[in-house]
Amino acid sequence: MVFSTMFSSTLNLAISSTTNSSRRRVSNTSSRRGVNSMRIRASSTEKGESKEKDQDDKSSFNPFGFVTDNPSSRSAIQLPETPADDGNVGQMIDRIQDKGKEYGSYVKSGKLRWFVRETGSAKSRRGTIVFLHGAPTQSFSYRVVMSQLSDLGFHCYAPDWIGFGFSDKPQPGYGFDYTEKEFHDALDKLLEVLGVESPFFLVVQGFLVGSYGLTWALKNSSKISKLAILNTPLTSSSPLPGLFQQLKIPLFGEFQCQNAIIAERFIEAGSPYVLKNEKADVYRLPYLASSGPGFAILAAARKANFKGTFNEIAEGFATNRWDKPILLAWGLSDKYLPQSVAEEFQNGNPQNIKLKLIEGAGHMPQEDWPEKVIDAFRVFF
């Protein structure tokens, strides 16, 4: 009953078989269409199907709905007519494992190994920018922005948080518990290893670890000269996406966190656009390669006090509490966080917060419209 309330049925399965000798067509008495290939194909419900069919779909539980209701992942699960020709998961990982590591290298900090993207040099004349991503994504989203900003004279770092992307993903309870304090402490040590000199520019976006980037800033304001915020929950009125609510549900959270397309699905649900397959591959890879990222986000979500953190951010950046310049670059087509969240946050400190609305961009403006983000950052920084 719990599962049926969580997933809407969006999938039809057509299963057909072919005999080796007669290639006989097998028809289903409930369907007029016959098929004669050895294929199990998942496809989304078409708009043109009958209302009666839609009602049948809604009333029945479809265990594959969570896999196939986002466009970019459908092609990834199509099986060929000859299944033996299809690659297994290991072969799929091998095909995409070298994707998405532009400008990146591994950096050891204590017992943890971070994956950090870097563009520009320490001698860059315009200063250093540190980019922090949100959950359940990775620093890959900043690749275009940081590349072009380095051409303008900035030195850029964009790490994958521990538990995300290509960084280490310790088992919860064995060296890392995925609490806010541990994320803060780990970031402090990484910045020290990287030799990032204060004050520097900070860019933050997204939920959960994105919010922790902002609470870190509140505790380390002397290290920051200017702060840029892309779509991030900033007030107590900020809605919490269903993903994070589901992760907190016992048993169901364990099931949901092992969804290999959790990141790409989250990105597409918050944006007016569909990811291209080559981009979706990168966001999918960590979750496809091991169970580690899933259990990491599960642990982090269950230890998070979302509403408490939202309140802390709203109060901490208010007038008389924060005096550094803030650029709030906001994607207007964000399906998670409405424009009213940005406006409410700005009203809390209008002298220091400048709101820049980015038309056409969704929850991740750096992925949807990096050119507009770069223009805004160039003027601000």
Type of residue numbered 67: V
The confidence score (pLDDT) of residue 95 equals 65
CA distances from 172 to 53, 158, 291, 292 (A): 44, 24, 12, 9
The confidence score (pLDDT) of residue 122 equals 86
How far apart are the C-alpha atoms of 140 and 278, rounded to whole Å?
12
Does residue 136 have a cis peptide bond before it, meaning omega lies within 30 degrees of 0? Answer: yes
Instruction: Read off the tokens for 287.
Output: 């979750």
pLDDT band at 96 (very low <50, low <70, confident <90, very high): low
Span 260-266, mean pLDDT?
94
How far apart are the C-alpha atoms of 74 and 44, rounded to whole Å?
8
The pLDDT tens digits for 23-59 are 333 334 444 344 333 333 333 333 333 334 344 444 4
> Which of 63-67, 72-76, 269-273, 353-357 shows the lowest per-residue confidence on average (mean pLDDT)?
63-67
The confidence score (pLDDT) of residue 357 equals 98
How far apart are the C-alpha atoms of 339 and 204, rounded to whole Å?
17
The confidence score (pLDDT) of residue 256 equals 95
> Which of 54-58, 181-185, 336-340 shows the lowest per-residue confidence on average (mean pLDDT)?
54-58
How far apart are the C-alpha atoms of 288 and 261, rounded to whole Å?
8
Q: Do the bridges between strand 155-159 and strand 40-44 make them parallel or antiparallel, or are there none, so unpaired?
A: unpaired
Q: How far apart are the first and last CA of the chain?
A: 52
Q: Is 357 helix (H, G, I), strand (E, B) or coil?
A: strand
Instruction: Read off the tokens for 321.
Output: 């509490």
How far apart are the C-alpha atoms of 295 and 291, rounded to whole Å?
6
Q: How many residues does the chain have?
A: 381
* Average pLDDT along the chain: 83
214 pLDDT more than 90:
yes
Span 245-251, mean pLDDT?
97
Type of residue numbered 184: H
The pLDDT tens digits for 64-90 are 444 444 555 444 444 444 444 445 555
Nearest in space to 208 (alpha carbons), one of 161, 154, 261, 256: 161
The confidence score (pLDDT) of residue 89 equals 56
How far apart are the C-alpha atoms of 3 and 25, rounded to whole Å?
35
**CA angle centred on 335, ends 379 and 269, rounded to 5°:** 110
With a pLDDT cut of 70, the percent of the chain lying above it is: 75
Is residue 147 within 8 Å of residue 119, measured between CB atoms? Answer: yes
DSSP 8-class letter at 69: S
Q: Do the bridges between strand 11-15 and strand 200-204 make them parallel or antiparallel, or are there none, so unpaired?
A: unpaired
Q: Please report how many Cα atoms fall inside a 13 Å half-sphere around the Cα of residue 361, on the Cβ side.
A: 21
How far apart are the C-alpha atoms of 2 and 249, rounded to whole Å?
10
Type of residue numbered 215: T
